Structure 1
């Protein structure tokens, strides 16, 4: 009996440590996964989705392709860089292409708040079928770059 209880406790601890929280937007056909629960908050625009907790914030701005810059449309790598620059972020570095969305790219930059440099993943991608461009920021308030990278890489299309 002791072995069974130990096994159950270890299993519960493992699943809690490795918990993943899925966030979906059926309207904009995208989803991502977070290592922690994020609450959706009300944003100033209907075309901006916002999710946050004390450690992370994920903001998704959806823009019609016709209103997006030609540089962004031509290259999402350039689009991520331009978005980071437009947001006033510092020390912008190339990241990588996302595994689940063709041509999607992220850069890593930093937002200076008081005396803290907060890492921010800036992601750019396009859904040609919907005619939409997506500008995503993943703020890592807890300075956990690996968790931020996992959130960025988890973005995918919904069917």
Structure 2
């Protein structure tokens, strides 16, 4: 019985070590933001120099960066509401209630769905305000493989760099 407990403990530790090692942190020094994901994503060329994109066949993360002066005057009045509005403006459906991002003081995310023909893709949409740098981040995490857990962990991992 003792050997069984030890074996179980070793398997548990081994799995946790593998999970910890399989996470990758991506950061942008230019825009002072980073996130961690278990997905093996590569950067891709975007149409704008203020959009940072990461993707693979199953997953995509896009971060669009705005200066505070580029958004409407009421953008920050209710960031929870703004986050839901951004998701709706992206033509996403089933937009859920905004949830605070734990790692940033001014950030929220929502879970929504991108309906493309007969395919429904879960999407997490986040909005973060960086008071120090006066920057706004609008983030989308597309879960093409329907892995909501990986998508949620990714959006919740976002934080600001000094």
Report TM bin, short chain: 0.7 to 0.9
Aligned equivalents of 1:61, 1:144: Cα separation in 2: 23
SS at match of 1:118: strand
Deviation of the 1:15 alpha carbon: 3.7
TM-fit CA distance, 1:21:
0.8
* Aligned-partner SS, 1:70: coil
Q: Helix, strand or coil: the match of 1:82?
A: helix
Cα distance in 1 for partners of 2:127, 2:15 equals 36
Q: In 2, Cα distance between the equivalents of 1:154 and 1:136?
A: 12
Query: Which ranges of structure 1 fall in alignment gaps of 5 or more residues?
Result: 1-5
Of 123, 127, 135 in structure 1, the residue corresponding to residue 126 of structure 2 is 123
Q: Distance in 2 between matches of 1:71 and 1:91?
A: 24
Correspondence for 1:34: 37
2:75 to 72, 77, 83: 72
- Residue 95 of structure 2: which of 92, 97, 102 is its match? 92
1:47 equivalent to 2:50? Answer yes
What do residues 53-74 of structure 1 show as CA deviations (whole Å, max 9, x unaligned)?
1111000000111111234212
What's the TM-score once normalised by structure 2's chain length? Answer: 0.86
* Residue number among 24, 39, 48 corresponding to 2:27 in the alignment: 24
What SS does structure 1 have at the residue aligned with 2:104? coil
For 1:81, the equivalent position in structure 2 comes to: 84
- Partner Cα separation in structure 2 for residue 70 and residue 91 of structure 1: 27
Q: Deviations over 1:41-100 (max 9, x none)?
A: 010000000000111100000011111123421222112111111111111101410111
1:5-59 CA-to-partner distances (Å, cap 9, x unmatched) read: x9xxx67665444410110000111000011111000100000000001111000
| Structure 2 unpaired stretches of 5+ | 1-6
Q: Kindly report the root-mean-square deviation, in angstroms, between the aligned alpha carbons of the 2 structures.
A: 1.9
Number of residue pairs matched by the alignment: 153
SS at match of 2:97: strand
